Amino acid sequence: MKKDIHKMNQGFFKSGGVFDKFAGKDHRMQFAEMQKLHQTMKAGFAAKLGEKLPEDPKGSMKAGYDAYNKLSSKVDGVSKSDFRVGQRIMNKIRDNRISPREID
């Protein structure tokens, strides 16, 4: 799974990649651009799986955007660097989570 995520990230972050296609001319992603990216990716995953994906919980998209946006508070919008830092955080959480068996 780690290798799959790494390969996906390479395509996402490369020059001219997914991030660059959705980010504005300022090379930052505003909330509307992030929503468009999310909906496009979700539609692609649904098509690949052959089934409709569940609706996102209300407010989760804005909460995610705000979390990424706060990684560099000097400028509004999410940069490619913010996304990379956020992905590293998610990788650490994934790699170090405690399973129910490990409790106690």
- What is the predicted pLDDT for the residue at 29? 93
Scored b (16 or more CB within 10 A) or e, 17-43 reads ebbeebbeeeebbbbebbeebbeeeee
Q: How many domains does the chain have?
A: 1
Residues lower than pLDDT 70 in the chain:
1, 104
For residue 102, being part of any structural domain is answered with: no
What is the value of pTM for the model shown? 0.76
- What is the predicted pLDDT for the residue at 75? 82
- What is the predicted pLDDT for the residue at 50? 94
For residue 66, being part of any structural domain is answered with: yes
- What is the predicted pLDDT for the residue at 62? 94
For residue 104, being part of any structural domain is answered with: no
For residue 89, being part of any structural domain is answered with: yes
In which domain, by residue range, is 17 found? 2-97
For residue 103, being part of any structural domain is answered with: no
Say whether 31 sits in a helix, a strand or coil.
helix
- What is the predicted pLDDT for the residue at 31? 94
Phi, psi of 91 (to 5 degrees): -65, -40
CATH of residue 23's domain is 1.10.238
For residue 67, being part of any structural domain is answered with: yes
What the block records as the tokens of 12 is 């996402």
The whole-angstrom separation of Cα 10 and Cα 12 is 5
Tally the C-alpha atoms within 13 A of residue 95's C-alpha that lie toward its C-beta: 10
- What is the predicted pLDDT for the residue at 92? 87
